[in-house]
Amino acid sequence: MTANEPTTDAIEAAQRQLDAHVREIVKWHFSPETGCPFWLDWAKRAGWDPAEEVRTFDDLLRFPHFQDEWLRDEPNERWVPRAYAGRPYYIFETGGTTGMPKQRIGWEDHWHDYEEFSETLDERYFPRGANWLMFGPTGPRRLRLTIEHLAHHRGGVCHHVDLDPRWVKRLLAEKDFETAKRYRDHCLEQAVTILKNRKITCLFTTPKLLEGLDEKLSVPDAGITGVFCGGTQMTPQNVRFLVEEVLDNRAQFVPTYGNTLMGLACSRPLTPQDQWSITYHAPQPRAVLRVVDPNDTAKTVDYGAWGRVELTTLTKEFFMPRFLERDEAIRREPWGRFAWDGVGEVRPFGALEQKTIEGVY
């Protein structure tokens, strides 16, 4: 057993906590007094009663894979749990490069996710009271609000730059590389202007934009001591380059894996000893990540093997069982305070077979 391997007791306790949470959340969503119309109708057609029959996380295998088209095709009201009826909600979008985007509605989940995440940040690099720059996709995305909430929660304020990734994806699809480059420069210039004129210590951005900033200024010299990064895949080499060269080993780099549907998965601390390989752990029990065999998704793959990432979200605001992400990853063992599986070296599903327009920002 290595120093960072959680004890068997810790792993079992996490499993018990997850099973209890599953029972509570499934009961909530499938009870007429609290559940949402979508799931209540679904249960009527399914011919079984999840509220009574789901006892453990493994019982969720009785659900089919959640289809994200449902989030596009079903009216938003269909997802409102009765317990939240009458309360205005946020609408957060994902996708939408062409046509109607997928939408998740929410009330406070995103606050919880980021407050929980806040506790994992190192005060030396992300000091309380420090100001942030949010330099990532804005518009109808959770990130726009959550980074600001994170800054406020930690006693600072948050500056913003407008950034529309759908426009960039469209330019790239049309092979209009020149306009895409001009738009990138336009965004970078705004971020640089803020960094030069305001005291900013913490930064949220994507790997590509961090590289872009590095073309215009030295990020650590600009006063940044903590960089919270997310949005796209990061190969070990990318991470090493960002840490060793762009941040000159002077600012902390905190990669995360997350999206509108999940929340935020934290990474283990990065080290050269791990060959800069990133492993994320879901914010269990609110969300669970499994690495499954693409040909038999009921089964997880062995530790150390590649498989497709499956996400289950379990909050009172949103129940999403067994959603197959468009990503693949290596299944990794529980680690440290994360007494449950991790997902390593996440990359687009089928990355070796096909090129997708991914991670433009």
Partner 1 sequence: MKPLSIPILRRGQFYESLDRTELKDIRTGAVIAEVSQANAGMIRRDSRSTSRDALRRIPAEKLIRICEEAGYLFMEADLPLGDRQSQSPQSYVACLSATTGLPHALVRRNMQKIHQVFTQMSTILRGLTRGLEWRILDHGVGEQAGVPVSYFCTADSLGVVLPSNSPGVNSLWMPSIPLKVPVVLKPGREEPWTPLRIIQAFVAAGCPPEAFSFYPTDHEGSATIMDVCQRALIFGDQSTVERYASNPAVQVHGPGWSKVIIGSDQVARWRDYLDVIVSSIAENGGRSCINASAILVPAEGDAIAEALAQRLAAITPLPFDDPQAQLAGFANPKMAEAINAMIEEGLKTPGAEEVTAKYRAGSRLVERDGSTYLQPTLIRCRDFRHPLANREFLFPYASLIEMPQERMLEEMGSSLVVTAITDDPDFIQKLISSPVIDRLNIGPMPTSRVQWDQPHEGNLFEFLYRRRAIQRVAVS
Residues that bind partner 1 (CB under 8 A): 177, 211, 214-215, 235-238, 240-242, 245-246, 275-276, 355
From residue 64, give the alpha-carbon distance in Å to each of 90, 322, 349: 27, 7, 20
Map tokens 């210039």 to a residue.
189
Nearest to 324 by CA among 343, 297, 348: 297
Which of residues 136 and 212 has its CB atom nearest to partner 1 in the complex? 212
Least CB distance to partner 1 at residue 159 (A): 24
Least CB distance to partner 1 at residue 188 (A): 13
Least CB distance to partner 1 at residue 308 (A): 22
Which of residues 249 and 275 has its CB atom nearest to partner 1 in the complex? 275
> CB-based contacts of 184: which residues, under 8 Å, 6+ apart?
168, 212, 361
Which of residues 192 and 242 has its CB atom nearest to partner 1 in the complex? 242
End-to-end CA distance of the chain: 40
DSSP strand E in 74-142: where?
90-94, 102-106, 132-135
Which of residues 76 and 275 has its CB atom nearest to partner 1 in the complex? 275
CB 27, CB 35: distance < 8 Å:
no
Q: Which residues of 76-101 are buried (b: 16+ CB within 10 A; e: fewer)?
A: eeebbbbebeeeebbebbbbbeeeeb
Which of residues 74 and 211 has its CB atom nearest to partner 1 in the complex? 211
Which pair of structure tokens corresponds to residue 67? 């289809």
Least CB distance to partner 1 at residue 177 (A): 8
| Pairing mode, strands 279-281 and 263-267 | antiparallel
Query: Could you give the angle at the alpha carbon of 266 between the alpha carbons of 193 and 187, nearest 5°?
Result: 20
Which of residues 54 and 224 has its CB atom nearest to partner 1 in the complex? 224
Which of residues 151 and 213 has its CB atom nearest to partner 1 in the complex? 213
- Pairwise CA distance, residues 226 & 198, whole Å: 16
Which of residues 122 and 248 has its CB atom nearest to partner 1 in the complex? 248
Quickly count helices (H) and strands (E) in the chain.
10, 14
Least CB distance to partner 1 at residue 217 (A): 12
**Which helix (DSSP H) or strand (DSSP E) does residue 158 occupy?**
strand 158-160
Which of residues 133 and 234 has its CB atom nearest to partner 1 in the complex? 234
- Pairwise CA distance, residues 244 & 250, whole Å: 9
Query: Could you give the angle at the alpha carbon of 129 between the alpha carbons of 125 and 132, nearest 5°?
Result: 70
Map tokens 């930690």 to a residue.
154
Least CB distance to partner 1 at residue 169 (A): 15
Least CB distance to partner 1 at residue 191 (A): 16
Least CB distance to partner 1 at residue 248 (A): 11
Least CB distance to partner 1 at residue 154 (A): 29
- Pairwise CA distance, residues 118 & 343, whole Å: 21
